[in-house]
Structure formats: C-alpha cells, structure tokens
Amino acid sequence: MKTEPSPVGAFRLIVTGGGTGGHTYPALTAVRTLQARLAAEGRALDVLWVGTADGLEARVAAAEGIAFEAVATGKLRRSSNPLKMLSPANIKDMGRVPLGVAQARSIISRFRPDVVLATGGYVAVPVGLAARLCHRPLVVHEQTVRLGLANRTLAPRATRVAVSSESTLPLLPEAARGAAVVTGNPVRPEVLAGHADKAVQALGLHGFDRALPTIYVTGGAQGSQQINTLVSGVLPWLLERANVIHQCGPANVTDLRHQAAGLPQSLTGRYYLAGFVGPELPDVLALADVVVSRSGAGTLAELTALGKAAVFVPLATSAGGEQEHNARHLQEAGAAVALVGEVGPEDLRQAVASLLADPGRRVEVAERARALGRPDAADRLVDVVLSAVG
C-alpha cells in the first residue's frame, strides 16, 4: 500500500494493537482524542493503523476511514507446563514474528511516524520491536490491572509506558518503571454522555417503575450463557425489587423470551430483554443503578468512570485469569461485588440484595468505583504520546 504524503505540519502516528475490543477501542479513542487536540491547534493528524488482516482492528480502521496495513504475527498459547509452551502451533506462530518485524520495519521506514502507539495484542509485538529498530519513539499502553504478555515484552523497550492503574506500576519490568505513568484506560466519550430519560423513550420502558432501582445485565455483544442462567434463576425475585434491562446476546433471545412469558403479569412491564444494545448503551448506563456484567478492562474503565455499582461475574477463561483479577481488585476497594468460582443463582441474589435494599450502600459502592475511574484517560494518554516526541 502506498502511503499518501502528509499535510504540511501534520503529526504522524502509527497505532498498533488489536485482536479484541479491549485493545482496539482504547486505541481508537486515543486516535480520536489526538485528532481533536491537534485540530484545535490548527494541525492535522496523519495516522496509519498496523494490525492483522483478519483482526477486529482491520474492520474498525476501515469503518473509521483510517489507513491500514497488515503484518504477520504469531499467537503464544500460554500454559503452566513449560513443555506445552513448545507446542507445534506455538513454534509455528512464533516463527512468524521475525517476518512481522521485517514487514513492520519496512512500513515504519516508509511512513516515518513521529510516534508509534502500541495498545497490546500479539500484533503489537512485531510493530513495537520494529519501532525501536527504526529509532522511533514507542509508547506502550496497558489496559488491564496486570500486564499483558505483548506489553510485558515491549515495556522495557518503550520510550513511555502508560498504565491504567497504580497497582500495575510494581508489576512492570524494572527497566520500564522510570518511563511509566498512570493514565487510566481511555473511555469513549459518548459512553459518558448518556441520559436516563432517553433510554426510557428509545427502548419504550414505560412499564418501568422509576421509584425502583434499575439493573442492567450484560454479557457483552454475544451475551453470556452463565450470566443469563444466573439471572433467569432469580428473575421473579429481581423484578419484585427492581426494573431489569437484560442484554442477553442475539442467539439467546428466543429461549429467554419463552421463559419470561411465565412471569406474573404484574412484573412483565419491568423486564426489558434485548439481544444487543447498540447506540442506546450510554443512555442505558445512565439509567442503571446496578450493573451485572463480565469484568474486562474496558468494562471496568467505563463503569468506574461513570461511578456505577456493579456485580462482576468474571469470564473464567480470560487470558491469565485477568477478569477475575480485575473483579477482585475492585471488590477489595469496596467498589464492586465479585462472584468468582462456582457461582449459582443464589449467589447472585445475595450479591444484589444489599445493593437493592440499601440505597446508602449502593451509593457508597458507586462512589468508591467513581474514585477509581479516570474519565480523562484519553487526554492523559494523548499527553504521553505528544511528550514522547524527541
């Protein structure tokens, strides 16, 4: 792909990272924020996203009109058994990293970025290594409380390391600590701008009792069978005490709608079931008093920035047990309730009960969550990116 000449005085940025929304959307938010910052100064941003051809980042870049180039990369399948790390799949994939570094080095030499921003995921490794080989400033951003494998590799080589939590600093390689700064995890500005009344109008929630608290249940875009089962097991009890917006995943709507048909007529108006919540999400979050969800880094960033009381049901299979670590971190700060291990409907009932019955406790948990939030994280990260220019 031929890179077009940049406008005179344009800031040139290569961004890399992806594979999941947790790596991709913070990068996109940082790009949007940097673009707005530069525009206010009368400057342009010339940005190139380097990722994998079939990754989420390729689709996001195309939708946003961001130039994109692909490089080869390999996925390291982790195991507590060192011998299993030497699996044929690992050896094959890791053999692709040198090719990716060579491809990225060519791209960087041609594009000549002022800064390379890496937000994690396997593709960030070859691009980050190539940035250092090309003597270009490298800024690494870590979204999770603990350090991801890609960023652990790149951190000692980075010009600056931006982390989302103070508790991450001691986990950094010693060589990277002097370059580290706490920025938080960028949150899409639209998430922070919701209005509760708009959710009522957009979703037709006219059967909701606004004198009762509202619970938003979500398992992510595809839904969570585990969370759906927990909620179904206590749904009548919940609806006697709260309104419920349940984002269950498109594949689960039919079965859950059939179950909901058996609810007492007096409760049905308080239950809103949806396969997916799209543009209305900021308004739904504004309406919610309690959120029941997974505990990925992006979810934590949004809910703490908004100051929401949450009950987290971590995804047990998340890389390195990251979601459980996130949930426990907030629970230890009194900023959420974490349900880990073998969890049943009764566990969810007990976790939600005190938040519904005691508005004072609900407010306290929400305020402690807000104290951990960093709604200005994108601006802080942009500050770091700009400061890395030599």
DSSP 84: G
pLDDT in tens, 180-201: 999 999 999 999 999 999 999 9
Closest CA to 216 of 274, 261, 266: 274
From first to last of the 390 residues of the chain, give the pLDDT tens digit. 445 555 558 999 999 999 888 899 999 999 999 999 999 999 999 999 999 999 999 999 999 999 999 999 866 544 455 555 455 655 555 566 899 999 999 999 999 999 999 999 999 999 999 999 999 999 999 998 888 889 999 999 999 999 999 989 999 999 999 999 999 999 999 999 999 999 999 999 999 999 999 999 999 888 999 999 999 999 999 999 999 999 999 999 999 999 999 999 999 999 999 999 999 999 999 999 999 999 999 999 999 999 999 999 999 888 778 899 999 999 999 999 999 999 999 999 999 999 999 999 999 999 999 999 999 999 999 999 999 996
User: What pLDDT shows up at residue 260?
Assistant: 93
Q: Distance between CA atoms of 98 and 333, rounded to whole angstroms?
A: 42
User: What pLDDT shows up at residue 4?
Assistant: 55
Any bridge partners for residue 180, and if so which? Answer: 161
53, 65 in Cβ contact below 8 A? no
Closest CA to 227 of 304, 145, 310: 310
What residue ranges define each of the domains in the chain, with the CATH number in brackets?
11-186+376-387 (3.40.50.2000), 189-372 (3.40.50.2000)
Q: Provide long-range contacts, Cβ within 8 A and 24+ apart, for 221-226.
A: 221/249, 221/276, 222/249, 222/250, 222/251, 223/247, 223/248, 223/249, 223/250, 223/251, 223/252, 223/275, 224/249, 224/294, 224/313, 224/315, 225/252, 226/313, 226/343
User: What pLDDT shows up at residue 76?
Assistant: 53
Q: Distance between CA atoms of 179 and 116, rounded to whole angstroms?
A: 15
268, 262 in Cβ contact below 8 A? no
Percentage of the chain with pLDDT > 90?
A: 82
Q: Distance between CA atoms of 301 and 299, rounded to whole angstroms?
A: 5
> Between the CA of residue 234 and those of 144, 241, 272, what are the distances in Å?
31, 11, 15
Q: Distance between CA atoms of 212 and 245, rounded to whole angstroms?
A: 13
User: What pLDDT shows up at residue 32?
Assistant: 97
Q: Distance between CA atoms of 360 and 373, rounded to whole angstroms?
A: 20
Q: Distance between CA atoms of 39 and 41, rounded to whole angstroms?
A: 5
The backbone region for 220, taken as left when phi is positive above 0, alpha when psi lies in -120 to 50, beta otherwise, is left
The residue to which tokens 């960028």 are assigned: 186
pLDDT in tens, 51-65: 999 999 999 999 999
What backbone phi and psi angles, to 5 degrees, belong to 114? -70, -35
pTM metric for this prediction: 0.87
> Between the CA of residue 38 and those of 11, 65, 119, what are the distances in Å?
8, 18, 21
**Interaxial angle between packed helices 345-357 and 225-239, expressed in degrees from 0 to 180 and rounded to the nearest 10:** 50
12, 107 in Cβ contact below 8 A? no
**Distance between first and last Cα of the chain:** 28
